[in-house]
Structure formats: structure tokens, C-alpha cells
Amino acid sequence: MKEIISRYKELGDFLKTRRSKISPAQVGLPESSRRRTPGLRREEVASLAGIGITWYTWLEQGKEIQVSAQVVESLSQALMLNEDETRHLYTLANQTSPMSIPPHNQVINPMLQRILDSLLLSPSMILDTRWNIIAWNKAAKTALINFENINIVDRNYIWLTFTNSNYKNMLDNWEHQAQGLIARFRAECGKYIEDPWVTEFVEKLRNESKEFDKWWSMHNVENERESYKIFNHPIAGKLTFEHSSFFVSDNMNLKLFINAPAPETDTENKMMKLMNVK
């Protein structure tokens, strides 16, 4: 019994120390001069992780609460934990540590962000192996969706494609694109099928989307390849892009998605107007 109590206390203390190291600016929250202690407040961590403030408070207080792998994943993202810290959190939460699973990455190399930013007219983003969107450029934020307004837990390319009505409505021939996306996601996550996150994420999305539930059951798979993507932007109208993806050279767990304006279309001119580029 003492061992169990010590584990929960250690978990609570670990969460408290991790949130104290994160500034509001790092997670897109406004700074406030009224903060009495450094770091994030409990309610801010709870909101970022998509869990209740009372429940999260109990966690920090060391109460005996069963913590699922999905909650561990959400907290590790919200607290921007590195690989070692994430594994430690899984251990404290008495969950199977995804030792063989490439870690999610919340902070990318500044050089990589500058490369993204240099693609002025090409909506681009960086995804991890779980298709979490961890970085993007201004073109993606302007032409596709403002990722800064999406809760960090929901900032997943698969999740947004099936649950975000604004993004769904912009995708031309959504059903075709969504089915292809499922096939590529299944091929990717098949490499890490032992990851508890995969099971919980798929189950959650199957409950959320009847289309995902239907198409996931088909077990279609395909590899990532160059393609065309068409978006119906509410202001610019039809935008046609050549879509390509590349592994990041110093981290093969990350992929760079680039949507370049297709030649022989007016997409480049429309993007210049959207981006106010002369």
C-alpha cells in the first residue's frame, strides 16, 4: 500500500515540476503580471490536455486515480515532455511505456521552422508518426486552418479531417481524400501497432465519425505519394496544390508536408492575395 501511495505522490510531484517549467508563451497563452508562481496554472494544463480541472488537481495531489494511456499521452503533449520524461510519466501512471514507439515532438529545430516560414505561398506543416501537427507556416494557417485555435490534443491531421467541419467543407471530394488518408494512416501506424495510443485513438475516432468507422473496417493501406489536393477556400475560391511529403533528415520520425501551388492554375495568384504578397 505504501508503494502505491508513493507512486501517486511521485506522479503528482512530477506533474507539478513539469508545468512549472513551461511559460504561457510557449503554449500560446498570454503572459500575466498577476502570476504568483512560474509556469502554467493547473487549469491551463487541464485545458491543454483536454481533461477536467478537478481530475487534474487530484492527480497533482497524489490521489489514487487510474490514468489511461490516452491521458498520459495528452499530458505529455500539454507539458511538452521529452522522450525520457514521457517514458517516466508512463511508468508513474502504471501504463506500458511505449519504449519502441518514436516519441511525439512538440518543439522542432528553429532551422526547420525557418524553412517552413520561407515557403511563403505553399501551405506546409510538420507531422510526427501519429500524425500530430507539431509545426506549420503562415500559408497553412491562412489558407487551410488556424492551428493555433485548435486544442493541442485535437491538433491531429486525421482527427481534424474527420471532425472539423470547416476543414471538411474546404476539402474537394472529401470522401475520396479521407479514405486515402485512412489507408496511409493505417499503413503508418501498423509499424507501431503495440502502441496503446493507436488503439485508443482509433476507438475514439470510430465513435466520433461514422465514416471513419466504416472505412477503417475495410483495412485498406497505401503508401504516401505525390498527389493533387484541391481546397475550396471561403474567400479565395478553388485552390489546387501539388502535395508532397519528405522525411526530416535529422529525425526520421517527422514528415514535412508541402502543398505547392499547381502550375497552370491561378492558385499562386490567389495565394499571393491571401498572403498579401506583392
Domain that holds residue 220: 110-274
Instruction: Give the sign of the dihedral formed by CA 201, CA 206, CA 208, CA 214.
Output: positive
Phi then psi dihedrals of residue 185, to 5 deg: -65, -45
The dihedral sign for the CA sequence 73, 77, 78, 81: positive
Nearest to 46 by CA among 86, 11, 85, 19: 19
In a domain, residue 256? The reply is yes
Please give the sequence-ordered ranges of beta strands (E in DSSP) within the chain, or none if there are none: 124-127, 133-136, 227-233, 237-248, 251-261
H or E element at residue 61: none
Strands (E), 149-250: 227-233, 237-248
The verdict on 115 and 143 lying in the same domain is: yes
Per-residue pLDDT of the chain (278 residues; tens, 9 = 90+): 445 557 888 899 999 998 888 888 887 777 765 766 678 889 999 999 999 999 999 998 988 888 888 888 889 989 988 877 887 888 888 886 654 455 554 567 889 999 999 999 999 999 988 899 999 999 999 999 999 899 888 899 999 999 999 999 999 999 999 999 999 998 887 777 667 788 889 999 999 999 999 999 988 888 888 889 999 999 999 999 999 999 888 777 889 999 999 999 999 999 999 998 87
Residue 160 lies in a domain: yes
**Is residue 141 domain-resident?**
yes
- Are 259 and 158 contained in the same domain? yes
Count of all residues that appear for the chain in the document: 278
Give the CB-side neighbour count of residue 215, counting CA atoms within 13 A.
Answer: 20
**DSSP 8-class letter at 148:** G
Helix (H, G, I), strand (E, B) or coil at 55: helix
Is position 99 within any domain?
no
Number of domains making up the chain: 2
Question: In this structure, are 152 and 269 located in the same domain?
Answer: yes
Ramachandran assignment for 56, one of left (phi > 0), alpha (psi -120 to 50 degrees), beta (any other) = alpha
* Pair (266, 208) in one structural domain: yes
Residue 98 lies in a domain: no
pLDDT of residue 99: 47
- One domain, residues 130 and 207: yes
Residue 266 makes CB contacts below 8 A (sequence gap 6+) with none
The enclosing domain of 259 has a CATH number of 3.30.450.180
Helix, strand, or coil (residue 7): helix
**Which pLDDT value is given to residue 2?**
46
Residue 59 maps to a domain: yes
Contact 262, 228 (CB under 8 A): yes
Residues 205 and 248 in one domain: yes
> Cβ distance 172 to 198 under 8 Å?
no
**What is the domain-level CATH number for residue 31?**
1.10.260.40
| Domain termination site, one of 59, 92, 125 | 92
Q: Is residue 105 part of a domain?
A: no
Three-point CA angle 130, 135, 139, nearest 5°:
125
Quick one: cell of 62?
Answer: 497524489
- 196 and 258 share a domain? yes
Shared-domain flag, residues 223 and 131: yes
- The residue from 58, 92, 126 where one domain ends is 92
Q: Are residues 126 and 197 in the same domain?
A: yes
